[in-house]
Amino acid sequence: MAEAYLINGETGPFEVVIGLEIHAQVISKSKLFSGASTKFGGEPNSQVDFGDAALPGMLPVLNGECVRQAVRSGLALGAVINRRSQFDRKSYFYADLPTGYQISQFFYPIVGEALIDVELEDGEVVQVGLERIHLEQDAGKSVHDLSPNQSYVDLNRAGVALMEIVSKPDMRSPEQAAAYVSALRSILRAIGSCDGNMQEGSLRADVNVSVRRPGEGLGTRCEIKNVNSIRHIQQAIAYEAARHVEAIESGGTIDQETRLFDPDKGETRSLRSKEDAVDYRYFPDPDLPPLILTEEFIEECRQSLPELPRARRIRFEQELGLTPYLARVLTADIDQSDWFETLLNDTAKHQGKAPRDVAERTANWMTGELFGALNKLDLDISESPVSAAQGAELLALMADGTLSGPLAKQVFEIMLETGGNPGDIAEEHGLKQVSDTGALKETIAEVLTTHADKVADYRGGKAKLFGFFVGQVMKASGGKANPAVVNELLKEALAG
């Protein structure tokens, strides 16, 4: 078990206590209470219904698809589904909140408690408690940098459905928080209830941080709002915890307040103190009746769930025989795991073998070669210039000896550039492996003749020179010689 994460202050060690409120934008065609589109990146104020603009006399109508997505998410996380929930108004004044209140769920949320298994880098599993999930409206966007003395408001986002996923304060390190967010993101993406795109803001975190000496009760916490990348979450926690420790050790106190993280400075700064805290005056929204879920509806939601990341990972390990590391890497993201399964099935078919028999090779190629290339090109798997079918063909060419490892690498480079098929490329560029023993014997003979002195040294005991000969043969063959065959023939030839 890994060591506990502690901050070593001057007066002793401090524990960090972390809770996260994740806002996940629901995948749905229209908004939570209106029919306007939820598409990202539209022209400002082009996706705004009369109700979104809070014109007089407009009323909310609940979008059933958003309810379905919330229930599916709750089921995927193993949470309690509340048969009865209601919508409440959360009131405050701001320009991007047209009605002057956000429709949310305060008293009775749609999803209740859960316990989520979160795997850390080293394989250790920690359990993080989920408090609740509720549905609520997103606000619009305020734009302050278009003009020196005016602010603008874009209401496209106003009313889009969010799931607010509230954890219990169970995390104890930035790493745990990061792993929790990754796990959550992975599951929501796998079931298609949220695309988890943090740059576009479909997944945001409010981070609650406090510190305490081991054994003490909870310290005063601060909330850091709207942190939009996993890296920033870790940085914010580290900075904030250190700030708390410093304040406490210098004899001061921590004020309960809301803060913002500045990614450029790597610091948090105060946004709002407790005195300025807003009283949201929650009360049940009288325009909306309570939400009652039937057993049939919940069952339908359950049936609609695909294989979840954890189940898939276990299957990869047990049925395909992949190492825990490979299984974990390949199931971290739904797009990648889907791509892998397609690749695996095609590869198995090409080679007339069972998937289990080719799984490890396939997984190694994908996580090594393919991921390496995609990282360099800064592309997602969904943007890969090489398709799974082409990958399968490449692997087949390696398996049947047409391509050696190094040749395959060359072919792969060209595939990345041109998007062409490996067979065609090998043909065109003459990159096929030479395994013809006759031809290779000739090449070997030439090499040994050219380097007769080294041959003598080798036979005299310098065994290391074998590698030199291999290199020379490969060079002479333009890298196409089949290394295994070369090895064998060279051994024979050198033995005299």
> Which of 58-66, 206-214, 259-267, 318-326 is the region at the interface with another protein (rule: CB under 8 A)?
58-66
Report the residue number, 94 or 325, with the smaller CB distance to another protein.
Answer: 94
What is the C-alpha separation between 428 and 243, in angstroms, rounded? 63
Report the residue number, 277 or 311, with the smaller CB distance to another protein.
Answer: 277
Among 2, 4, 55, 292, binds another protein (CB under 8 A): 55
- Written as six digits, the tokens of 222 are 């601060």
Nearest distance, CB of residue 120 and another protein, angstroms: 40
Does 153 sit near another protein (CB under 8 A)? yes
Nearest distance, CB of residue 34 and another protein, angstroms: 10
Among 7, 58, 120, 238, binds another protein (CB under 8 A): 58
> Which of 91-99, 346-354, 377-385, 454-462 is the region at the interface with another protein (rule: CB under 8 A)?
91-99
Does 7 sit near another protein (CB under 8 A)? no
205's CB contacts (< 8 A; 6+ apart) are: 20, 21, 22, 23, 181, 226, 227, 228, 233
- Per-residue three-class SS string for the chain: CCCCCEEEECCEEEEEEEEEEEEEECCCCECCCCCCECCCCCCCCCCCCCCCCCCCCCCCCCCHHHHHHHHHHHHHCCCCECCEECCEEEECCCCCCCCCEEEECCCCCCECCEEEEEECCCCCEEEEEEEEEEEEECCCEEECCCCCCCCEEECCCCCCEEEEEEECCCECCHHHHHHHHHHHHHHHHHHCCCCCCCCCCCEEEEEEEEEECCCCCCCCCEEEEEECCHHHHHHHHHHHHHHHHHHHHCCCCCCCEEEEEECCCCEEEEEEECCCCCCCCCEECCCCCCEECCHHHHHHHHHCCCCCHHHHHHHHHHCCCCCHHHHHHHHCCHHHHHHHHHHHHHHHHHHCCCHHHHHHHHHHHHHHHHHHHHHHHCCCHHHCCCCHHHHHHHHHHHHCCCCCHHHHHHHHHHHHHHCCCHHHHHHHCCCCCECCHHHHHHHHHHHHHHCHHHHHHHHCCCCCHHHHHHHHHHHHCCCCECHHHHHHHHHHHHHC
Q: How many residues bind another protein (CB under 8 A)?
A: 29
> Which of 85-93, 235-243, 404-412, 488-496 is the region at the interface with another protein (rule: CB under 8 A)?
85-93
Strand partners, 118: 126
Report the residue number, 276 or 488, with the smaller CB distance to another protein.
Answer: 276
Nearest distance, CB of residue 184 and another protein, angstroms: 31
What is the C-alpha separation between 378 and 393, in angstroms, rounded? 24
Report the residue number, 292 or 379, with the smaller CB distance to another protein.
Answer: 292
Does 476 sit near another protein (CB under 8 A)? no
Among 46, 151, 256, 304, binds another protein (CB under 8 A): 151
Nearest distance, CB of residue 220 and another protein, angstroms: 20
Report the residue number, 95 or 484, with the smaller CB distance to another protein.
Answer: 95
Does 150 sit near another protein (CB under 8 A)? no
Query: Dihedral through CA 413, CA 419, CA 424, CA 430, nearest 10?
Result: -30
Nearest distance, CB of residue 260 and another protein, angstroms: 18
> Which of 47-55, 230-238, 318-326, 454-462 is the region at the interface with another protein (rule: CB under 8 A)?
47-55
Among 11, 50, 231, 459, binds another protein (CB under 8 A): 50
Among 17, 32, 72, 98, binds another protein (CB under 8 A): 98
> Which of 51-59, 263-271, 410-418, 437-445 is the region at the interface with another protein (rule: CB under 8 A)?
51-59
Nearest distance, CB of residue 47 and another protein, angstroms: 15
| Residues between 236 and 295 with contacts to another protein, criterion CB under 8 A | 279, 281, 283, 286-289
Nearest distance, CB of residue 104 and another protein, angstroms: 13
215: left (phi over 0), alpha (psi -120 to 50) or beta: left
Nearest distance, CB of residue 1 and another protein, angstroms: 43
Does 56 sit near another protein (CB under 8 A)? yes
> Which of 57-65, 67-75, 120-128, 376-384 is the region at the interface with another protein (rule: CB under 8 A)?
57-65
Report the residue number, 279 or 383, with the smaller CB distance to another protein.
Answer: 279
Among 9, 21, 42, 62, binds another protein (CB under 8 A): 62
Nearest distance, CB of residue 160 and another protein, angstroms: 18
Does 59 sit near another protein (CB under 8 A)? yes
Note the residues at the interface with another protein (CB under 8 A).
50, 53-62, 89, 91, 93-95, 98-101, 151, 153, 279, 281, 283, 286-289
